[in-house]
């Protein structure tokens, strides 16, 4: 990839230095990248708009072909580059050959459900018995716990495999060893210096791992482990006379986890999602097919569908219902059972949405009160005994979006503790801050990634925690704000926004974290209509260009917020409107729809 200029050095796009969301708009392509875009278009015969999107994401002329057609076989590393992988694969191979019962301990989110299902599906194909335990968020909390491990041992488990958790579980894994259980950890969370005692801890983010694969989600780590396991079993002659499991067919789960866990869609992750979406479109997995039907998705799934439609429904079980619903749905081969599970998850998601709306409103009110007196506070911390533990992560995410700074949300428990979740902004490492809080004894437990973290503290220490993170994050948040610009790929008109452009842009996908979706500005377009729709506070908008053409769009969760107010207040007036494009297929026809992200008043 080519280096790009810092956004802070680029000239404001359309001279917008303060949009309705307070951001400066800049052109994503700097002058050097604009030159590269011309070369990409000419060398590869690509449309100019696609060439600019590629160049703006650091793709060079020589890299274009590989970027547009990422092949898994070209990007797959040898799994043994991961520390402890050989030991993990050999122990799993032993379990397969001996038909040992394997206990799979997963997390209660999408990545955990997909990781557990990946391993279970492989074991099932090898006729190996397994147990899956997904902890209850409220009664057990995150990660392995002593009681659950004892229960798994009593059920006959001979090998414990933790997926999407376990890297910091010193006491639970010590208990597993005491009980005679070998433990294998397959995880991706940031790791403490002192690791628990286990036969193997495969985690690209452990401090002694040099694989360079820290961007993988847990399902990606599990997939590489299955590749290594498959190789080990093949070497032992296990598949002589029997069919090997179809690992490529399981990439739908890897894709779903990769998108839902918001890890960067770069390198291997991008290939995982591209190939996984192709698998998903074949609707082989009856559980996912049922969930797509329940979500009302008639078209072929794309990356954003996984994050906005599929992921939240699977997560709903772990947030406010039965945490194991997701893995059961992903593993079932019974269409009737799949339909029932999908319906249950859809209903739980609706309940979650209602709970979230009320809690987010309360959190935003708390934050506004604090920021009124301390507007430069680098982080927002909110808490309430009324909030459901399953939505604190969503509360943190919404307050982060609203106030454009890292946010933590805590629910206060009856035992005197407060369970919280944090969400960050680019350039601010929350996982490191939470680990530091644990190390000094301010937090009882905690961990996570750069962009998201979970933590438990004493309820009386919320103010101490705020003071601690304020001191720790002041400098990185200030630095992040300096570069908090909104990058624009190009300007379009309503008449020029045709389905063919979106089809061209899809070649540069999938888009997501680390691979931003192209953003276009419709300059000086008159707002013909802006009205609230649905129960989520969305604003439906219709714009008219200077040539009389129209384009429709929607601003999600914008009603009553600065963006929604600006759109509603501009009816009959021109506005610069920025957003991403998609194709709306309805009634056999196709038209471009705009997802509105920001707006600015013309000078």
Q: SS3 for 443?
A: strand
Residue with tokens 């029932």: 340
Structural domain of 495:
7-30+486-600
Q: Is 1 a residue whose pLDDT tops 90?
A: no
Residue 262's nearest CA partner among 313, 311, 213 is 311
- Any domain includes 356: no
Measured CA to CA, the distance from residue 506 to residue 511 in angstroms comes to 9
Q: Measured at the alpha carbon of residue 319, what is the angle toward residues 315 and 321, in degrees to the nearest 5?
A: 100
Is the Cα torsion angle 18, 401, 220, 518 positive or negative in sign? negative
Q: Quickly count: other Cβ atoms within 10 Å of residue 248's Cβ.
A: 12
Residues 116 and 11 in one domain: no
Structure tokens that stand for 542 in this block: 């219709």
Residue 2: which pLDDT band, with cuts at 50, 70 and 90? very low
Structural domain ending residue among the three candidates 482, 515, 532: 482
For residue 460, the domain's CATH number is: 3.10.310.30
- Any domain includes 15: yes
Residues 342 and 401 in one domain: no
Q: SS3 for 252?
A: helix
- Any domain includes 42: no
pLDDT of the residue at 603? 81
Let me know: does 226 contact 201? Beta carbons within 8 Å: no
Q: Which 3-state string (H, E, C) describes 203-219?
A: CCCCCCCCCCCCCCCHH
Residues 108 and 241 in one domain: yes
Tally of domains in the chain: 3
Residues 187 and 128 in one domain: yes
Residues 382 and 309 in one domain: no
DSSP code per residue over 342-398: HHHHHHHHHHHHHHHHHHHHHHHHHHHHHHHH-TT-S-EEEEETTS-GGGHHHHHHH
Measured CA to CA, the distance from residue 485 to residue 488 in angstroms comes to 9
How does the average pLDDT of the chain come out, rounded? 94
Residue 96's nearest CA partner among 226, 253, 252, 251 is 226
Structure tokens that stand for 327 in this block: 């893995």
- Any domain includes 355: no
Question: Exposed, middle or buried by CB within 10 Å (0-12, 13-18, 19+), for 57?
Answer: buried
pLDDT of the residue at 10? 63
Task: Give me the helices (H) in 45-109, please.
Answer: 48-56, 64-68, 72-75, 85-98
pLDDT digits (tens, 9 = 90+) for 133-163: 999 988 898 899 999 999 999 999 999 999 9
Structure tokens that stand for 117 in this block: 């299902």
pLDDT digits (tens, 9 = 90+) for 424-443: 998 899 999 999 999 999 99
Residues 325 and 187 in one domain: yes
Residue 523's nearest CA partner among 490, 478, 555, 498 is 490
Structure tokens that stand for 31 in this block: 């002058």
Measured CA to CA, the distance from residue 11 to residue 25 in angstroms comes to 9
DSSP code per residue over 261-325: TT----HHHHHHHHHHHHHHHTT-SHHHHHHHHHTT--SPP-HHHIIIIIHHHHHHHHHHS-TTH
Q: Is 7 a residue whose pLDDT tops 60?
A: no
pLDDT of the residue at 585? 78
- Any domain includes 289: yes
Residues 490 and 569 in one domain: yes
- Any domain includes 362: no
Mean pLDDT of 241-265: 96
Residues 138 and 243 in one domain: yes
Residue 299: which pLDDT band, with cuts at 50, 70 and 90? confident
Measured CA to CA, the distance from residue 183 to residue 1 in angstroms comes to 39
Residues 178 and 266 in one domain: yes
């Amino acid at each position: 990839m080519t280096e790009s200029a810092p956004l802070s050095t680029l000239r404001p796009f359309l001279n917008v230095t303060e949009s309705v969301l307070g951001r400066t708009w800049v052109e994503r392509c700097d002058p050097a990248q604009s030159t590269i875009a011309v070369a990409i278009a000419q060398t590869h015969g690509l449309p100019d708009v696609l060439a600019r999107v590629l160049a703006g994401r650091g793709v060079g002329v020589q890299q274009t072909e590989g970027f547009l057609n990422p092949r898994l076989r070209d990007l797959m590393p040898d799994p043994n580059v991961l520390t402890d992988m050989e030991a993990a694969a050999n122990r799993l191979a032993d379990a397969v050959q001996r038909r040992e019962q394997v206990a799979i301990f997963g997390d209660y989110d999408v990545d955990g459900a997909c990781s557990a299902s990946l391993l279970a599906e492989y074991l099932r194909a090898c006729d190996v018995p397994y147990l899956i335990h997904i902890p209850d968020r409220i009664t057990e909390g995150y990660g392995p716990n002593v009681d659950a491990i004892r229960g798994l041992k009593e059920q006959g488990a001979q090998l414990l495999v933790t997926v999407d958790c376990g890297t910091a579980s010193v006491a639970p894994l010590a208990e597993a060893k005491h009980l005679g259980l070998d433990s294998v950890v397959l995880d991706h969370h940031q790791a403490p210096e002192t690791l628990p005692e286990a036969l193997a801890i495969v985690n690209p983010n452990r401090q002694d791992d040099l694989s360079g694969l820290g961007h993988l989600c847990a399902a990606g780590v599990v997939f590489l482990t299955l590749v290594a396991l498959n190789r080990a079993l093949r070497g032992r002659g296990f598949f002589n006379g029997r069919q090997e499991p179809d690992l490529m067919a399981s990439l739908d789960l890897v894709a779903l986890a990769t998108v839902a866990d918001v890890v960067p869609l770069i390198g291997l992750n991008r290939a995982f999602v591209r190939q996984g979406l192709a698998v998903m479109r074949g609707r082989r997995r009856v559980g996912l097919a049922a969930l797509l039907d329940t979500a009302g998705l008639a078209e072929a799934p794309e990356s954003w569908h996984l994050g906005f439609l599929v992921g939240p429904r699977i997560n709903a079980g772990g947030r406010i219902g039965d945490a194991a619903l997701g893995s059961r749905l992903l593993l079932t081969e019974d269409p009737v059972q799949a339909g029932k599970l999908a319906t249950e998850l859809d209903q739980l998601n609706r309940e979650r949405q209602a709970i979230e709306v009320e809690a987010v409103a309360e959190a935003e009110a708390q934050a506004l009160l604090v920021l009124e007196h301390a507007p430069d506070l680098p982080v927002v911390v909110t808490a309430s005994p009324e909030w459901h533990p399953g939505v604190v992560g969503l509360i943190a995410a919404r307050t982060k979006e609203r106030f454009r700074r890292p946010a933590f949300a805590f629910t206060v428990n009856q035992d005197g503790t407060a369970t919280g979740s944090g969400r960050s902004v680019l350039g601010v490492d929350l996982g490191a801050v939470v680990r530091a809080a644990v190390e000094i004894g301010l937090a009882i437990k905690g961990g996570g990634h750069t962009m998201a973290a979970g933590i438990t503290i004493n309820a009386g220490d919320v103010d101490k925690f705020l003071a601690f993170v304020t001191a720790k994050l002041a400098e990185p948040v200030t630095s992040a704000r300096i570069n908090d610009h909104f990058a624009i790929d190009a300007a379009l008109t309503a008449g020029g926004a045709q389905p063919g452009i979106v089809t061209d842009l899809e070649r540069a996908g999938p888009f997501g974290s680390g691979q931003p979706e192209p953003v276009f500005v419709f300059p000086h377009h008159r707002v013909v209509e802006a009205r609230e729709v649905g129960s989520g506070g969305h604003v439906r908008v219709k714009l008219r260009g200077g040539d009389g053409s129209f384009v429709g769009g929607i601003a999600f969760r914008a009603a009553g917020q600065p963006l929604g107010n600006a759109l509603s207040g501009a009816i009959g007036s021109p506005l610069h409107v920025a957003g991403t494009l998609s194709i709306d297929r309805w009634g056999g026809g196709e038209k471009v729809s705009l997802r509105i992200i920001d707006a600015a008043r013309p000078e």
